[in-house]
Amino acid sequence: MMYGYIRVSTKQQKIDRQYEEIKDFGVDESNIFVDKESGKDFERENYQRLINSLQRGDLVLIKSIDRLGRNYQMVLDEWYRITKTIGADVKVLDMPLLDTRTENNLVGQFISDIVLQILSFVAENERASIRQRQAEGIRIAKEKGVKFGRPKTDLPPETNIVIQLYKEKQITNEKASEMLGISRGTFFRMVRD
């Protein structure tokens, strides 16, 4: 049996490109599983349905290895689970070397495993670099005085009086936030601070 797996990170992203390539390979539409969520882990509803459907000798097609997941070790573990524990094969359409079908000999499977490890490592390393660049950018922006988050709102002059009335239990938090024209959450933060 042939299956296809498609993943995009958000509900707004399109699956057309992945879907057409997998369908063109001959996978029946009823055997194509789609998730529209992050690849941070494998707790995805349709991915789990795919895994539960797999049997020894089945083939899973994915467009590219990053559609499977983002974490280096998790991708390697999942690859092992599919190919060794379940006994199914995996073919990555964008990378012909990542094809574990039995038509490939032992050397082909060995090369496939090595390429997978290299690609997974490179993908995770790139994510780490992105996080580092982002953190550096934020640090530099803060050093230059850039403020993050919502700007502070100017509070009415009677704010301290209203807070005092609330603390003395003369008015409720609903009444206090209404008097100041702010949400109850904002009022509670003001009281706490």
**Interior angle at CA 2, CA 86 and CA 51, nearest 5:** 35
Nearest C-alpha neighbor of 155 from the set 178, 174, 175, 182: 182
99 Ramachandran zone, left/alpha/beta (phi>0; psi -120 to 50):
beta
Q: Which of 9, 38, 53, 64 is catalytic?
A: 9
Q: What are phi and psi of 71, to 5 degrees?
A: -90, 125
CA distance 141 to 10: 28
CA distance 133 to 125: 12
Question: Which tokens sit at 140?
Answer: 């530099």
E strands of 14-155, at which residues? 32-36, 59-62, 89-92
Q: What are phi and psi of 49, to 5 degrees?
A: -65, -40
Active-site residue flag, 38: no
79 Ramachandran zone, left/alpha/beta (phi>0; psi -120 to 50):
alpha
CA distance 193 to 139: 25
Q: Which residues are catalytic?
A: 9
